Structures are given as C-alpha cells and as structure tokens.
A and B are shown apart, each in its own frame.
Chain A
Amino acid sequence: MSAGVEGAAFVERQGRGRALLSALRGPQLAIGLLILLAFTVIAVFSPLILSRDAKTKVGDVFEPPSGAHVLGTDGGGADMVALLVQGAGVSLAVGFAAAVVSALIGGAVGLLSGYFGGKVDTLLMRITDYVLVIPDVPLMIIVAALFGRSLTNIILIIGAIYWTTTARLIRAQVKSVRERVYVKRARAIGAGNTRIIFRHVLPQVAPLLVANTVLLVALAIFAETFITFLGLGDPALVSWGRLIENAFKDDALLNEAWWAIVPPGVCVTLLILACTMIGQSLEDSLNPRLRVGHLSVRRFRLRPLDGRLDAE
C-alpha cells in the first residue's frame, strides 16, 4: 500500500528539501532558528518600525540605493526596505496560517486513519492518494482564479492541498504508538477511544506534527509566491511574492533595477531554507526510527549510508 503511485508522489512533493538536508550534518537547527527568529521579530514589530504604509511614494521610480533609501525604491517610488519589512508580516502570516490549516487536516486524517485502521484507514488513505497525484501548483492557481483573490482564500487553498504528506507521516506514527503497552493497558482498564487519542496518542505525535508544520511553512511560502506572481494575490497587501511580481510587472528588468528584484527573492529563499533546516532537524531528532519509515515510503534510499563507507 505504501509504495506505488502514492509513494512516488510523496518523493516529489515533500521529499525534496528534506532529503537534501538529511545529507548535510551540522548546525542546521541553530542557523535555521536564527533566521526564522530574525524574520519573525521584524514581522511582529513591523508596525513599530514603519511610520507609515510602506507603499507610500517617497522618491522617484526605481531610484538606485542611496543613503536615504538603502535599497533604493520600487516601480511605485516606495522605499524597498520598508516594503520588505511590511512584506515579512504578510509572507510569514500566510506561511504559518496555511501550514496550520494543513497540519490540522493532515493531523486529523492521520490520527483517525492510523488509530482506527480498517475501513476508515482504507477510505482516508485512498482520498489522500488521489489528492497527492493531482498536480498541486496548477490546482492552486485555478482555485485561486475561480474563487477570488483574498488572503483568506489563498491560505485555505494552500492549506487544503498540502496536508497529504502530514497525514501519511502522522498515520505511520500513530500506528506504532497505538501498539505500545501503555496504550493497550489503558484500553484494558476501560479507557474510551477519545480518551486514548487525546491523552495517550496525541501527546506522542504532537512534537512530530509541529516539526512537520515548520516544513509546511516553507512549502506554503513557496506556493504564495507562485500564486501572487500570476496576479492572483490579494491586491491590497504587500508580501515578498508580491514584490517579485511588482518588479516583473513594473519592468524592473528594463530599468536594470536589481535592487527591486533581488532582495525580496533573497528573503523568500532564506526563509524557505530556514524552515526546511529547522523542520528536518527536528523531525530527525524527534524520531530517529522514523527515518526507516521514510525509506519504505519513499522507496529510494535517500539517506546515505555513510557509516558503511567510513568503515571500509
């Protein structure tokens, strides 16, 4: 059941950054946390840092970096630094909110599927398999185009698509927790399903769910830049994805205004890197046994067997 098309799509969708990182050992967690913390602080305090709306025209169009505007101005004459600061809030908000939606759906599906097994499991995992195979980006774009360009819609769309890998991960974990002695004992002394799920199973899988959510944040931020770039973002808001779109639409390329193009992308890339690093390190340290689980799902042995080579 775990191999086949669904395993294939799994590799494609979430295996990417995560697998790359597992080959890198080092202070990933610390670096990732530092970057994420820095961006979060900026996002949270952005109303204090900015004295007015970042979109306010403060200079000429595409003014190069200078003392007054450290990163110059964009196609609307707004200060790039201010835009980036304001964009941090929106990008992070979309990322975290969509990731939480995904984690809730995926967590619930995984819990029910893994805990009850049988028909419930078969049905839920079938649905998961189908969602996995539908190409995510075109689907998101089309749903965004059909149902309007509000921030809430974008969050829901992203959240409703990326829950599949979480569901599989949590299901696998729940299946193993369910068989542990203390759970069996709880059942033997008459504890009901609800009690066992919330008192015994959920606490065991919660840390893993959190780690996975951080990985989802990276995916969600990535997806937001996609949707926004195609002109389907919330028109009233400034996000990093939006800044990339603006630079493209306002012909920053023709003006050779690198300062309008490069910085927002650097921010997105850094944030995605940070989230991938944190999520991956947490997941690995939380449950080293899970690595084995991943292997069977992904089919490829993504984790290198360094030990065997070193011993040669």
Chain B
Amino acid sequence: MGRGDYIAKRVGFALITVLVAITLNFVLFRAIPGDAVSALRCRQCTAAFKEFQRQELGLDKSKWEQYRLYLADLAHGDLGRSLRTERSVASELWAPIRNTLPMVALGTFFSILLGVAAGVVSAWRRGTIVDRGTLYTGLGFYSMPPQWLGLLMVLYVSGWLGLPTSGVKDPILGILGDASTWDVVVDRLEHMVLPSLTLGLVLLGEYALITRSAMLETLGEDYALTARAKGLSNWAVVRRHGLRNALLPVVTLVALSLGFIIGGAITIEYVFSYPGIGLAIVEAIDKRDFPVLQGAFLLLTLSVIAFNLLADLLYFKLDPRVTT
C-alpha cells in the first residue's frame, strides 16, 4: 500500500471517529434521566427560567431536529451556553485550556526527561540491580493513583522545595508594587511545577521502558557492534548509536499518551486547585452544568483523536516501513 493510501486511510478513520464522538456526545447528554435543565443545581433558578433554558437548548423539539441543530451549531463552532453563567461554553473553557496546556507540556517534558534518563541507565546497566531498581520504581509510580501521588507531593515535597500547592498564580503578586514580566513567569512556573511533576512521575515508567527496550534493540544491531569495534567508548556507543535511534518510539509515545495524560490531569488539577480544563470539568459536574461538561468532553475527545492521527502520521514519517 502506498504512502497516499496510508495517509488517506488514517485521516478517513479519524474523521469517522470524530463523527462517532460527536454523536456519542449528543446521545449521552440526551439520555440523562429527566433532562439537562432539571438536573441543574441552582437554587435561584425559577421554573420560568428553566423553561426558557429548555427552549434555548431546543429540548422541546424532536430528537432528530435536536441532533441536526447540534451538528449545525458545531459546524459554526458554537458549543452552546453555560446554564449557570449564560456565557458561551467556548469562552468558559478558553481560560482553563490556556492554563492546562503549559502544565501538561511541562509534565510531559518531565516524564520524557526522567524516563529517557532512567531508560538509558537501565539499558546500559542491564541485568544489574540498577536496572531492576529503575524498572520497579517505574512500575511503582505507574500503579499509583495520580491524585494520591499529588497529595503525597503536597504533604512531603512542597514544603521541602518551598513551592506553592494551589492555584495558578500568587494572588498578591503585582498588587504591592509592580511585578516584572520575569516575576510573573517565575510565579506561574512555580505554581506549575508540582502538578506537572506529579503527571511526569506517573508517566515516567512508560518512557523508561520504551527507551530501555529500544536501546537494547539498537545496541544489538550490527552498526552498534561496528561502532564498538572501531574503538568507541561504551558511552559514545550508547549516546550516538543507541539513544539517537531509541528516541523514535519516544516521539510517538508522546502523542499516544495524551488520552491518559488528560485523565490524570483532571484529578491532579483538582488536588492542586489548578484552574485548568480538569477543574472546569469537576466544577461543571458539581453544578450539573451539562453544556459546559459536554463541550469539555468533546474538546478532549477531539484532541485525543487529533493526536492519535498525528502519532500515526509521525510514525509513518519516521519509519516508512509501516505499511498497514
């Protein structure tokens, strides 16, 4: 199968998946016992207001008509309105997304950095106690619920490192006197470190293992043997011939673990009161604000599908031997 076929097939699959996800999203939120409005937790809301909301959401129309309207709205980029704040879902979710993205990126950076380092050491010292120790540590972190690891971080690490444990920025920064851009950046980073580190540690094992196996594989190749025969030092072989090739699967793993990262980020943000998309979901659940919940879920699903597609295309680019 040619290159074009492969890409067309993957893109086609992704597009159909998007449609399935949208439909699932529609069906799930219409299948609630009662309806979205009656479930809303809002003391001040009068019956008239709720009736107005129902009309606004089109809940008085037939299901097919609702589905058609939903698709039409989505096509215009309209995710609906929050039942609580009356603001559009897109604007409700924009700020949280902007907070989540750098945090998740930093977390992925931590996991790659620590994981690849651990994997290289593990492969280099294969079969030794260092190797086993590294792998068991990775497996240990993998088995921990992320929210619990987050709590441990607050309990044991935050005081030790002197890092803030909640929110996204220092509330008094810039109020007493001007804060320079540098101060603001440092403040943001400080608030990001602990949630990111938690995320990074949970993912560490996976990266360590993939790096380790890829390293062992490349170190077993003939060119690695040749390199050694040339008289290169062990470390030079590991770095120049092993690591460079072993990074290929790591690159794709970044895109692939996004689904898990998102899941982990929800509870981690909750622990650290980090106002990202995860915390927005938790709040929407708490208030039963279904349009926001629905919009957030759709965005997460779409980003996972997009990253899966990216992983597939990237992998094809990096390793053209992939044909199916």
Contact = CB atoms under 8 A, between A and B. Distances in A.
A23 B214 CA distance: 12
B188 interface: no
A9 B20 CA distance: 16
A136 interface: yes
A48 interface: no
Interface string B131-142: 010011011101
Interface stretch (B70-78, B100-108, B173-181, B216-224): B216-224
Contact of A253 (B151, B214, B249): B151
Contacts of A129: 13, 17
B213 A247 contact: no
A226 B213 contact: no
B266 A12 contact: no
A229 B285 CA distance: 12
A76 interface: no
Interface stretch (A54-62, A111-119, A189-197, A258-266): A258-266
* Chain B contact residues, majority secondary structure: helix
Question: Looking at chain A, what size class is its interface with the partner chain?
Answer: 35 or more
Interface in B286-307: 286, 288, 290, 293, 296-297, 300-301, 304-305
B31 to A, nearest CB: 7
Interface stretch (A63-71, A77-85, A166-174, A298-306): A298-306
Interface in A126-152: 129-130, 133-139, 141-143, 145-148
Given A136-B263, A226-B263, A20 B142 contact: yes
Contacts, number: 216
A309 interface: yes
A146 B301 CA distance: 18
Nearest to A275: B143
Interface of A: 1-5, 8-9, 11-13, 16-17, 19-21, 23-24, 26, 129-130, 133-139, 141-143, 145-148, 218, 222, 225-226, 229-232, 241, 244, 247-248, 253, 256, 258, 261-262, 264-265, 268-270, 272-273, 276, 299-306, 308-309, 312
